[in-house]
Structure 1
Amino acid sequence: MNNYPNFKDKETFKKAFKAYLEAKYAIDFEKSTPYQQYVVLGEMIRYYIAKDWNNTNQVTFDTKAKKVYYFSMEFLIGRMITNNLMNAGVYNVVKEAFDDMGIDLNEVEHQESDAGLGNGGLGRLAACFMDSVASLGLPVHGNCIRYRYGFFEQGVVNGYQVEHPDRWLKDVHVWEIRKDDQAVEIPFYGYIQMSTVNGKLVVEHKDAEYVKAVPYDVPMIGAGNHIVNTLRLWSAEPASTYPENDAFQYARNLREISSMLYPNDDTDEGKLLRLKQQYFFVAAGVNGAIRLHKKTFGTVKNLADKVVFHINDTHPALIVPELMRILVDEEGLPWEEAWNITKNCCAYTNHTILAEALEKWPVHLFKRLLPRIYTITEEINRRVLLEIAQTYGPNSKQAYDMAIIKDGRVHMATLAIHGSFSVNGVAALHTEILKNIEMKVFNDYYPGKFNNKTNGITHRRWVAQSNPELVEILNKYCGEEWIKDPEKYFPLLLKIADDPKAQKEFAKMKKARKDALAAKIFKEQGISLDTNSIFDVQVKRLHEYKRQLMNALHIMYIYNRLKSDAEFKKNYHPHTFIFGAKAASGYVLAKKIIKLINTIADKVNNDYETNSLLKVVFCVNYNVTYAETIMPAADVSEQISTASKEASGTGNMKFMMNGAITCGTLDGANVEIGELVGDDNIVIFGMTAKEVTDLYEQGGYNPWDYYNNDERIHQIIDQLTNGFFDHVDPNEFQMIRDTLLGKDNYFVLKDFDSYVKAQEKINELYKDQKKWLHMSIVNIAKSGFFTTDRTMRQYNQDIWHVSPIQTVKAPAKKDTEAKAPAKKAPAKKTTAKKAA
């Protein structure tokens, strides 16, 4: 057990908490603020798990365990306080003690800022992975950049998105520990000088500009198992030597590296900064891992047996040439041996088939910024092409398709594929598209390298933490063991899917969560929602292929129908459409779509003839914490991307696990959701992935045909620019009209009729609450497959092959196994004074 006894019972904790707070802030406890209480609680938890954290590292070292280093540009971990309390097994002790002391734990939890370490699904997935690997006892550690600012904090002014700096580090980050002794200096620019000394290659990097990477370690606490893994965040700081002739410019450049996620790369300067960020955290993480490996084993020759470097998306693909640089330049290994080690150390997860997301860097920038890494990449490319020529002959199409460097650019996905022993997709459909269409040439050349690992979510956050009413139901019908294995226990709900008493409990649960969301929206935006209406939710990154635009156009159609069709209006069940999304700051069309959604909301919400039946809300600054309130409240999960474009999705899984019905295309993991729940428990519409692919290849789609032949489409397209909207210039949405009638690359108009029919089906189904609740319960019952515990087991069984570690054998405290905090709005001020 832990040697920090302050959490053993509530009386001990109350005494320790009060003493710690008064000592830290030199004030009377009664005068403390919720923020001060949060800082003290966070530090006490960190001290509490410190022994477990140290033991985890020590046991891994002592047993010479194989380890995984998971590199990702994003780890969207959100607030950590509640998750850490629960996983450490002390939530109930703290809650009871705070109740006695007159402190609102919910209010204290709200003092923590969401960690600004991600943007969307990629980062949230990585965060779920970290929770699961720790809970499974797998030695898997994350590497990322310690961004001073997050993606951005979103505001809405006159319907337009505005971006504010996300200053999440403006206050203390209680979870991190700075590790100066493990800092690494990273070179940029300069030039390479090679020579041979005693028959060995000597490489010198001349006139380099160095940056010091300083690690900040954040604990990733396993659920009740005393395992604490590490998320290492790298911060850019001045190196021991720097250019004295331009120290101010050096300082500015340095600061940018760990300033913010995804700087605009429309210019060469932006591209250089992104590439610099990627090499910065890759080089720091790989060097740190090699240093620890040599300390453990004294050699790098067994690296492939003991280390996996996991490349999450293309951003960390520079692991491949950086590892080669270390093995060849610093360790003196022959190229062939170094390459054999490298390609057996690295594994790559592909998250997309979108061309813009498969990074390609201009050679002239790559070569200037990373001279040695470029020469190594060039040599990898030369040797790979020689090998390919042995199979397909010289100058073959296959050689061109598989070249790392071509057309003046370095192709990062290609580099990752050649340099890895495993390449995985993240949903069954996505992987099949990779293997048989987008990356078929690689799959043919490397048989067996491609595999599927369907994404998941951590049920500990997205049910146990976010939905206390559902926790009570699951404990009742599945037993409290569900928290350890939802895939095993959730199906027990199938027995009660048609039981009227159970259905009533599920309906009550959903109503409570809808009430909580409605209260939050009213408090923050002043919009009143009918919680008996259908809560139809689309929350995700704003991108054309995700088709928030189709959702918006459909709302315009519904409004038109309500205004003109009395019979339709009479039979229409009230429907609330809820959006949440951030658009990249340079993505003009995406930001215009946000303006359109808000303009529609202004129109329909203020029409007293229809607003009892139709409401629209755009949730401002959607993030992980907001999602914890939104996901459990949804009746309908909008997963309407153009088929073949969404690799997987994880929002669809969070909604499903909380009982929402998916309205979606056969895209990403929607396919697997549909297979699990059956056709009667999901609403599918639109073209299939094959139909979309065929249409791209063969052509034949003309959006004007739909405009001219479908009166509904004709009307709403015209309304974009004919003065239909009251408070905008008639030309405000000309760009959207031109996009839809120009190319409509994501087939919004082609799938529109099918989407209308799907929405009509949903409105009718919801009126039959017995049928709807049956569908909802079946979705929860089948959602256990989508836990990241399952995903991580599959990664480990098929790719990593690491053994679980164990620090102590003491069982977790029973009272925290499946307990969840009650979510309620934070109080206006602390009630600590009442305790006096």
Structure 2
Amino acid sequence: MGKNKKADPRAGMDVDSFKEDIQQHLRYTLAKDKYSSTEWDNYRSVVLSVMDRLHDRWLNTQQRYYNDDEKRVYYISMEYLIGRLLDNMLVNLGMQDVAAEAMKEVGLDYDKVRNAEWDAGLGNGGLGRLAACFLDSMATLGIPAIGYGIRYDYGIFYQQIENGYQIEKPDLWLRYGNPWDIVRPKIQYNVPFYGNSHAYHDDKGDLRFRWDNTHDVLAIAYDTPIPGYKNEVVNNLRLWKASSSSSIDLKSFNQGQYIDAVRDTQLNENISRVLYPNDKVFVGQELRLKQEFFLVAASVRDILRRFKKTNDDWRKLPDKVAIQCNDTHPNLAIPELMRILVDEEGLNWDLAWDITKKTMAYTNHTLLPEALEKWPVSLLRSLLPRHLQIIYEINRRFLNEISDQIGDDKGKISRLSIVGEGEDPVVHMASLGIVGSHKVNGVAELHSNLIKKTLFKDFYEIYPEKFTNKTNGITPRRWLRQSNRELSDLITGEIGEDWVTDLDQLKKLEKFVDDKKFMKKFAKVKQNNKQRMADYIEEKRGIEVNTQSMFDIQIKRIHEYKRQFMLALYAITQYNRIKANPDGDYVPRTILVAGKAAPGYTMAKLFIKLMNDIGEKINNDSDVGDKLKFIFLENYSVTLAEKMIPSANLSEQISTAGFEASGTGNMKFALNGALTIGTLDGANVEIKEEVGDENIFIFGNTVDDVERLRHEGYNPWDYYNSNEELKKALDQIKDGFFNDDKELYQPIIDALLQKGDYFLVLADYEAYVKKQAEVDELYKDQDEWNRKALLNTARVGKFSSDRTIRDYADEIWDVEVKK
């Protein structure tokens, strides 16, 4: 067997085997040769060669899980921001250098090959990137797990900047197909919608319900392998594609009614057509609800099919199955599991409910009340009539169960009820998630404490044991080993490579802070990354930036609470100072911003236009030169983040305190040796605890300060009138200094001065500008700056997603970590 394996180029981990496999796939799979192949063909031949090495491991892993009948984790998420996969797969297989050498020997350029890959259009922001990190960590830790999601034909959108405005173009990430996934046409499930729920009595005389006259959509499985890091484990990401469950009506087609014949088919397939551009502000849309139930129904069916292969006692379900709902989007899994257990499997309600609660867990990702999903009862009644009945029954029993605790406190009953009251009642999906699961977790200590004190205070008083914290993390494989190879190699050369799966090992780097030779190499890595970023900016924007300047970066979705506008105000302030005294002593800065605004989020899109206008003014002013640049980079993606984060000197984490649940960009920047300027919000609080107060720049109002300001009556005009630099910056925006259309930015000015400055930009401006002055002073002392940068890298081991997943495994899922 060993000889056969060695003779098979598809299994070999050496250069010659991989090289031969690439050539074989190019000729025999793709029917191309070196004369006819395109860059996409070359990329595909490499991917197919990588997949060959994954398949044995994939099959063996899944067979072992089956034979051992291990408890499995099922992670259900509407989003997976997995980025490009080639580097990630090669890193985790431990053959990145082998593959690069093999490609070189067959005349392929490694960078060109990987640049042929499109970022997968499966996610929107932090929620989706977190899910991707979790998949990597579950595989690396050997946890039997499957991720479930939707295989969207189009990502949220491709962002172009035209005349400073965001323009949304289709994200055609599947235009050439996806060589990483394998369609499983035999794994398909009917997902019902609409219809009627009928009561009847079964043979024993018990009341039962039947859901019939439904309109069904077919869910077809597509599987993507998720390898662990050098451990032979390959888990699965299963994505569902919607298809029509019935074929085209040929009679209509033959009579020339082509549109009618294909219309229903296309409407069904729309469910997996495009990632809904959700942006922390929930908007009830029928398509979105269809997507959520489509994901849940297919996934729960698949989970139960797998369970029933080896088990016939439903009471064992919580011992074999842990379902984690990533935010409220998959919480319909609760009534769906109840429906199957009660209506189809014939369990009594109490037993089914006990099983469901022990199986389900829910992660909350937001502190914004308006971002919590609320589905209109009228929509649920039409689309999912049986589920609405089940939700009403869950709510009735829940309120009865706690009646002794709440008495006849109508306000509390209203706040706790899963179903809202009024003319247009809604179902609160977060409340359903709390009542129907055994654990509810926040994603940072501050966030978890705040949801207990504010959003879910009433629920916490009833179910204190359900609430827990699981501080987010990031995978070191992608966010250091892959995206910052030079720093990774420097670290490995000094402390070995165990840090890749045990990030706490980075603490060993602390002893090098006074090692001049090491620190020189550390500084050189950062400089090289800045040069690569500068080359990218020049190529994409035609702007030459000073690589000796401080690279000051904010990358995240554009949103008022994330306060990109405050960074823009600082840029204007700095610009005004330079104009007033061009010969002054300034620390040069290159401010880089990237992020997408939801298509319907008018204010966020206006911020993008303003930032581009500010950049246009600053970047073309000869008085300013290379002392200051302000650049907005279009179409933020995982791949762009992998360029920007290693190049950063300063990480902007400046959200209004109490609004950011966690953040993970803050962790990626710190891991890559950037210092953070930020508020005490989200995971910044814990980053500060880990890296030390002296190695982070914290400013601004705290959560308690924000509450006090609101309570006492916050007046933004007081701040406007008392700070000349702030007043001048706002007046310039208002008076047409950055754009001839004086009315254009009036909505921004009104939101700040006329409508109360809800996110307290003006209240934090002065503290922010003062803190930036401290940043400048430190940057002048490059040795001290680099010392603090290294301490950031060395001390953020806690923020590995491996640690987060261990915590989930121990405290929520009750599964064993193999590593």
Fold in common (TM above 0.5): yes
Correspondence for 2:573: 557
* Residues 699 and 317 of structure 1: CA distance in aligned 2, closer, same or farther (over 3 Å): farther
- Quote the residue 2:31 is aligned against: 26
Q: Deviations over 1:350-385 (max 9, x none)?
A: 111111221111111111111011110111011111
Change (3 A) 1:437 1:267: closer
Structure 2 counterpart of 1:435, from 445, 448, 452: 452
Closer, same or farther in 2 for the Cα pair 1:459/1:700, shift >3 Å?
A: same
In structure 2, the partner of 1:411 is 428
> Residues 263 and 273 of structure 1 are in contact (CA less than 8 Å); yes or no, is this contact kept in structure 2?
no
- CA offset at residue 18 of structure 1? 1.3
- Against the structure 1 CA distance between its residues 349 and 618, is the aligned structure 2 distance closer, same or farther, given a 3 Å change threshold? same
Measured against aligned partners, the alpha-carbon deviations of 1:715-747 in whole angstroms (never above 9, x if no partner) come to: 11111121212x541211111111111221100
- The amino acid across from 1:560 in the alignment is N
- Does 1:701 find its partner at 2:714? yes
Query: Deviation digits for residues 444-487 of structure 1, max 9, x if unmatched?
Result: 10022111111010110111111121012201222222222121
SS in 2 for 1:236: strand
User: 2:800 and 2:722 mapped to 1: Cα distance?
Assistant: 45
Q: CA deviation at 1:14?
A: 1.9
Shift of the alpha carbon at 1:143? 0.6
2:749 matched residue in structure 1: 737
Structure 1 residue 67: Cα displacement: 0.5
Which stretch of the first structure deviates more once superposed, 359-368 or 686-695? 686-695
Contact 1:265 1:271 in 2 (8 A): no
Matched residue, 1:532: 548
Cα distance, 1:327 vs structure 2? 0.5
Q: Tell me, in whole angstroms, the C-alpha distance in 1 between the residues paired with 2:622 and 2:613.
A: 16
Following superposition, the deviation at residue 16 of structure 1 comes to 2.7
> 1:362-381, aligned counterparts within 5 Å?
362-381=376-395
Say if 2:233 is the partner of 1:227: yes
* Structure 2 unaligned regions, length at least 5: 253-259
Whether the 8 Å contact between 1:53 and 1:227 is mirrored in structure 2 is yes
The residue number in structure 2 matching 1:74 is 79
Tell which deviates more after alignment, 500-509 or 20-29.
20-29
CA RMSD of aligned residues (A): 1.9
Q: After superposition, what is the alpha-carbon deviation per residue over 1:801-820, rounded to whole angstroms, capped at 9, x for unaligned?
A: 112469xxxxxxxxxxxxxx
**Equivalent-residue separation in structure 2 for 1:217 and 1:188 (angstroms):** 25
Q: TM-score under structure 2 normalisation?
A: 0.95
Give runs of aligned pairs for residues 86-105 of structure 1, distance below 5 A: 86-105=91-110
1:704 CA drift (Å): 1.2
Q: Does 1:800 align with 2:800?
A: no
Give me the whole-angstrom Cα distance separating, in 1, the residues matched to 2:718 and 2:661. 30
Counterpart in the other structure of 2:66 = 61
Q: Answer whether contact 2:293 2:330 (CA < 8 A) is retained.
A: yes
Matched, 1:477 2:494: yes
Amino acid at match of 2:438: F
Distance in structure 1 (CA, Å) of the matches to 2:124 and 2:390: 32
Q: Residue 238 in 1 paired to residue 244 in 2?
A: yes
Question: Secondary structure, in 3 states, of the residue corresponding to 2:230?
Answer: coil
Provide the rounded CA distance (Å) in 2 between the counterparts of 1:263 and 1:642.
23
What amino acid does structure 1 have at the position aligned with 2:553? V
In 2, the alpha carbon distance for the partners of 1:268 and 1:16 equals: 48
Aligned residue number for residue 604 of structure 1 = 618
Give, as a single letter, the amino acid of the residue that structure 1 aligns with 2:190: E
1:483-516: per-residue Cα shift (whole Å, max 9, x none)? 22121x1011111112222221111010000001
How far, CA to CA, are the matches of 1:757 and 1:269 in structure 2?
39
**Structure 2 residue aligned with 1:779:** 792
Give the whole-Å Cα distance in 1 for the aligned partners of 2:783 and 2:485. Answer: 23
Give the Cα–Cα distance (whole angstroms) in 2 for the partners of residues 204 and 431 of structure 1.
Answer: 40
Which residue of 1 is the match for residue 211 of structure 2?
Answer: 205
Question: In 2 relative to 1, CA 52–265 (structure 1 residues): closer, same or farther, beyond 3 Å?
Answer: closer
> Deviation at 1:438?
2.2
| CA distance, structure 1, for counterparts of residue 23 and residue 151 of structure 2 | 32
Alignment of 1:288-299 (within 5 A): 288-299=302-313
Counterpart for residue 256 of structure 2: none
Match of 2:587 in 1: 573
Matched, 1:654 2:659: no
Cα contact 1:200–1:332 (8 A) shared by 2: no
Structure 1 residue 169: Cα displacement: 0.6
Q: Quick one: which amino acid aligns to residue 216 of structure 1?
A: Y
1:229-628 equivalence runs, <5 A: 229-240=235-246, 247-262=261-276, 271-407=285-421, 408-487=425-504, 489-565=505-581, 570-628=584-642
Distance 2:272 2:280 in 1: 19
Q: TM-score, normalised by structure 1?
A: 0.93
- Please list the CA deviations of residues 504-545 of structure 1 after superposition, one character each: whole Å capped at 9, or x if unmatched: 111101000000111111111111111100000000011100
Alignment-derived partner of residue 187 in structure 2: 182
Residue 125 of structure 1 contacts residue 457 of structure 1 at CA under 8 Å; is this kept in 2?
yes
> Contact 1:263–1:274 (CA<8 Å) still a contact in 2?
no
Which amino acid counterpart does residue 421 of structure 1 have in structure 2?
H
Q: Report the CA distance between 1:636 and its aligned residue.
A: 0.2
Shift in Å at residue 565 of structure 1? 3.4
CA distance in 1, matches of 2:792, 2:460: 34
Native 8 Å contact 1:69 1:143 kept in 2: yes
Aligned length: 801
Q: Distance in 1 between matches of 2:277 and 2:736?
A: 37
SS in 2 for 1:406: coil
The CA deviation at 1:267 is 14
Distance 1:240 1:385, change over 3 A: same
- The one-letter code of the counterpart of 2:745 is F
Pair 1:49 & 2:54 matched: yes
What is the DSSP-based 3-state SS (H/G/I as helix, E as strand, rest coil) of the residue aligned with 1:583? coil
Question: Could you tell me how far 1:247 is from its partner in structure 2?
Answer: 4.8
Partner secondary structure for residue 612 of structure 1: helix
Residue 257 of structure 2: aligned partner: none
In structure 1, distance between residues paired with 2:155 and 2:611 = 24
Aligned to 1:38: 43
**Offset at 1:269?**
10
- Is it true that 1:218 corresponds to 2:224 in the alignment? yes
Native 8 Å contact 1:642 1:667 kept in 2: yes
Cα displacement (A) at 1:28: 2.6
Give unpaired runs (5+ residues) of structure 1. Answer: 807-836
Separation of aligned partners in 2, 1:201 and 1:47: 53
Distance 1:27 1:679 in 2: 59
Partner SS state of residue 29, structure 2: helix
Whole-angstrom CA distance in 2 between matches of 1:797 and 1:204 = 39
Q: CA deviation at 1:197?
A: 1.9
Deviations 1:377-398 (A, max 9, x none): 1110111111121222145433
**Cα distance 1:226–1:268, how it changes in 2: closer, same or farther (>3 A)?**
closer
Structure 2: distance between partners of 1:585 and 1:151: 9
> Secondary structure of 2:146's partner?
strand
Q: For 1:45, what is the secondary structure of its paired residue?
A: helix
Q: Decide whether the 8 Å contact of 1:498 with 1:770 is kept in 2.
A: no
Q: CA deviation at 1:253?
A: 2.3
For residues 677 and 163 of structure 1, the distance between their equivalents in structure 2, rounded to whole angstroms, comes to 39
Shift of 1:242: 8.9
Q: Deviations over 1:179-208 (max 9, x none)?
A: 121201011111111100222334222321
Whichever residue aligns with residue 537 of structure 2, its letter is: I
SS of alignment partner, residue 315 of structure 1:
coil
Match of 1:150 among 141, 148, 155: 155
Tell me, in whole angstroms, the C-alpha distance in 1 between the residues paired with 2:783 and 2:355. Answer: 59
What secondary structure does 1:42 align onto? helix
Letter in 1 for 2:698: I
**Structure with more contact order per residue of length (Cα contacts < 8 Å, sep ≥ 6):** 1
What letter corresponds to residue 533 of structure 2 in structure 1? L
